[in-house]
Amino acid sequence: MSELRNDTFLKALLREPVDYTPVWMMRQAGRYLPEYRATRSQAGDFLSLCKNADLACEVTIQPLERFPLDAAILFSDILTIPDAMGLELYFETGEGPKFKKIIRSEQDVDALIQPKMDDELDYVMNAVRVIRRELNGRVPLIGFSGSPWTLATYMVEGGSTKDFRHIKGMMYSQPEVLHKLLDRLADSVIDYLNAQILAGAQAVQIFDTWGGVLGHREYREFSLAYMQRIVAGLIRENEGRKVPVILFTKNGGQWLEVMAGTGADALGLDWTTHVGEARERVGHQVALQGNMDPSVLYGSPARIREEVMRILDDFGSHNGHVFNLGHGIHQFVNPENAGVFVEAVHEFSARK
């Protein structure tokens, strides 16, 4: 493997000294980029794009060609695992992800396939290998997975939801069935992230997009406990380097202390938390990643620069901070504004 030329992101995740604050954007490869839309139409649909290693590699690298980002993220989706377990993922335009089969009972859980990383999910590892080769040491590659709770919400609801009716119904009426499902998912996520690491992912992020809809007790029991098990099961060193783990519970700002207690190296923050206060609470234990509201990118370049400056000031130090948006970049954002954001982070954080 070629030597890593920019390891600022990995160092920041491990709270080692850096010359400037590294930055990447959640969903940095995606529909806000015209070149992404062109490659996706070439692939046919989104899932075919994920399953074609060369095209997945192409879209992974597209944002790096435009902006001086400090990390690349594997182009794939969190719903690859439920798909490989037999639920058959598909996308209907404008409606988000859907499954042909859904989970409502213990029998449904028992019927799930335990996916093999060198079989059903081999296309993901293949993409990781191709992307690492093409990155050629430019920046580190991030691998990722959904949290068991977040994956379960899609599997039980059958797609996106606003009210979490079926998954919460299961949680309060058949908690043992939900635990069985989460248990199966945790095992698969451990295998999946370890396979990504061995294929070349240099850091991994667990997306707990829906942990924040849980009550404080339920968060610990149905989401955090499984993420903790995953963190404990991950390969933490590869190719002679530490492989940092980032935990991101959207709307999880009130639980940072217990999240830091999982043994993760870094916590992702959305914009509802003050990054300086978060640092005081857990900064001796973990690095922090975040946390600009993605909607700021609808503002003027001057407003974007002002917000970047404020967040850097709020964090108050260079070490242990990875700049990011507090959630994925929106599809209607002007790519030029994303460029203003990335350059502002570098400009304002550079050590004089």
Which residue of the set 20, 31, 90, 187 is catalytic? 31
**29 scored as a contact of ligand CP3 (CB under 6 A):** yes
Euclidean distance between CA atoms 3 and 239, whole angstroms = 10
**73 scored as a contact of ligand CP3 (CB under 6 A):** yes
Contacts of residue 136, defined as CB under 8 A and 6 or more positions apart, other chains included, come to 2
**144 scored as a contact of ligand CP3 (CB under 6 A):** yes
Q: Pick the closer one to ligand CP3 by CB: 207 or 279.
A: 207
**46 scored as a contact of ligand CP3 (CB under 6 A):** yes
C-alpha dihedral sign at 53, 205, 307, 31: positive
**75 scored as a contact of ligand CP3 (CB under 6 A):** yes
Euclidean distance between CA atoms 214 and 110, whole angstroms = 25
HSE-up of residue 350 (Cα within 13 Å, Cβ side): 6
- CA distances to 58, 59, 62, 92, 140 from 38, in Å: 11, 10, 11, 19, 25
Which residue of the set 15, 32, 70, 77 is catalytic? 77
Site size for ligand CP3 (CB under 6 A) = 20
Shortest Cβ distance from residue 18 to ligand CP3 (Å)? 22
Shortest Cβ distance from residue 261 to ligand CP3 (Å)? 23
Q: Is 209 annotated as a binding residue?
A: yes
Shortest Cβ distance from residue 74 to ligand CP3 (Å)? 6
Coil vs helix vs strand at 339:
helix
Class of residue 3 by CB neighbours under 10 A (exposed 0-12, middle 13-18, buried 19+): exposed
The stretch among 26-34, 98-106, 177-185, 336-344 that binds ligand CP3 (CB under 6 A) is 26-34
- C-beta separation of 236 from 245 below 8 A: yes
**27 scored as a contact of ligand CP3 (CB under 6 A):** yes
The stretch among 76-84, 112-120, 178-186, 214-222 that binds ligand CP3 (CB under 6 A) is 76-84
Contact letters for ligand CP3, residues 310-329 (x by CB under 6 A): ------------------x-
Shortest Cβ distance from residue 42 to ligand CP3 (Å)? 12
**271 scored as a contact of ligand CP3 (CB under 6 A):** no
HSE-up of residue 227 (Cα within 13 Å, Cβ side): 35
**31 scored as a contact of ligand CP3 (CB under 6 A):** yes
The stretch among 28-36, 132-140, 174-182, 273-281 that binds ligand CP3 (CB under 6 A) is 28-36
Q: Is 133 annotated as a binding residue?
A: no
310 catalytic per annotation: no
Shortest Cβ distance from residue 29 to ligand CP3 (Å)? 4
27 catalytic per annotation: yes
- CA distances to 38, 268, 337 from 207, in Å: 27, 9, 25
Shortest Cβ distance from residue 300 to ligand CP3 (Å)? 25
- CA distances to 104, 117, 188, 190 from 114, in Å: 18, 10, 7, 12
The residue from 56, 78, 269, 322 that contacts ligand CP3 (CB under 6 A) is 78
- Count helices and strands in the chain by DSSP H and E runs: 16, 11
Q: What Rg value do the Cα atoms of the chain yield, rounded?
A: 19
154 catalytic per annotation: yes
Token duo for residue 208: 């707990």
**209 scored as a contact of ligand CP3 (CB under 6 A):** yes
15 catalytic per annotation: no
The total number of residues shown for the chain amounts to 352
* Spatial CA neighbour of 262 closest among 250, 279, 245, 277: 245
What residues make contact with ligand CP3 under the rule CB under 6 A?
26-31, 40, 46, 73, 75, 77-79, 96-97, 144, 160, 207, 209, 328
What is the set of active-site residues? 27, 31, 40, 77, 154
> Which residues make up each annotated binding site for substrate?
27-31, 77, 154, 209, 327
